[in-house]
């Protein structure tokens, strides 16, 4: 069963400002700033204020945890399914900055806005589109027990543009080749591997 939940504005402005001013957030921001795209994972200490909001708004109990995973991301994430060091039921994330573009979960589009949380169950494909070059900060992505999940391949918009061009070109070449071959004997072993790659893309 597919479940995607969007909770707008679960964190108030003053708490977000405090998080953004933390030295570990600033240090990680310096690391993402010098990248053209990618992500920087780190963690911050969990205050009882944040724990209570997460419990109240998202329904997960992190009261025994000392820290929470965080991530700066620059560029678009390609479609992917989250994974973690252990099995889990849901992915939880809260955007702490606004961003251009959109967050797409199971083919539905959502805004990337400060304080908004998303919860979706494990195994659902998700991606971002049109996020440009400004880094965005996330609390999470994490499991219901608070460990980091993800494994998102992040690319900048230029790479994504060329990736799509290359994908289209490969498809055209593949179709043209099959058209030329017509009814002649075909190399099925080659076709099989090429089909697998195209299916993956």
**Binding stretches for Fe ion (CB under 5 A):** 82, 150, 152
For 4, the token pair is 């995607």
Nearer to Fe ion, 19 or 154 (CB): 154
Shortest Cβ distance from residue 79 to Fe ion (Å)? 10
Nearer to Fe ion, 46 or 128 (CB): 128
For 112, the token pair is 């990337």
Shortest Cβ distance from residue 149 to Fe ion (Å)? 7
Nearer to Fe ion, 82 or 144 (CB): 82
CB 131 within 8 A of CB 137: no
Enumerate residues 6+ apart whose C-beta is below 8 A from 29.
Answer: 40, 72, 135, 137
Residue nearest to Fe ion (CB): 82
Shortest Cβ distance from residue 127 to Fe ion (Å)? 8
Strand partners, 70: 42, 139
Q: Which of 144, 129, 137 is nearest to 3 (CA)?
A: 144
Nearer to Fe ion, 144 or 152 (CB): 152
């Amino acid at each position: 069963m597919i479940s995607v939940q969007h909770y707008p504005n679960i964190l108030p402005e003053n708490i977000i400002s405090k998080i953004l001013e933390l030295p570990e957030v600033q240090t990680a921001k310096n690391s993402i700033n010098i990248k053209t795209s990618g992500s920087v994972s780190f963690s911050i200490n969990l205050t009882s204020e944040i724990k209570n909001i997460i419990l109240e708004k998202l329904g997960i109990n992190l009261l025994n945890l000392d820290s929470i995973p965080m991530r700066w991301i620059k560029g678009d994430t390609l479609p992917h399914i989250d994974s973690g060091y252990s099995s889990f039921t849901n992915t939880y994330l809260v955007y702490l900055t606004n961003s251009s573009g959109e967050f797409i979960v199971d083919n539905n589009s959502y805004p990337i806005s400060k304080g908004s949380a998303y919860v979706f169950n494990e195994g659902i494909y998700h991606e971002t589109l049109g996020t440009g070059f400004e880094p965005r900060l996330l609390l999470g992505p994490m499991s219901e027990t608070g460990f980091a999940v993800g494994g998102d391949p992040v690319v900048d918009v230029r790479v994504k543009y060329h990736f799509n061009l290359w994908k289209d070109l490969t498809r055209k070449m593949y179709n043209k080749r099959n058209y030329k071959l017509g009814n002649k004997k075909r190399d099925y072993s080659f076709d099989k591997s090429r089909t697998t790659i195209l299916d993956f893309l």
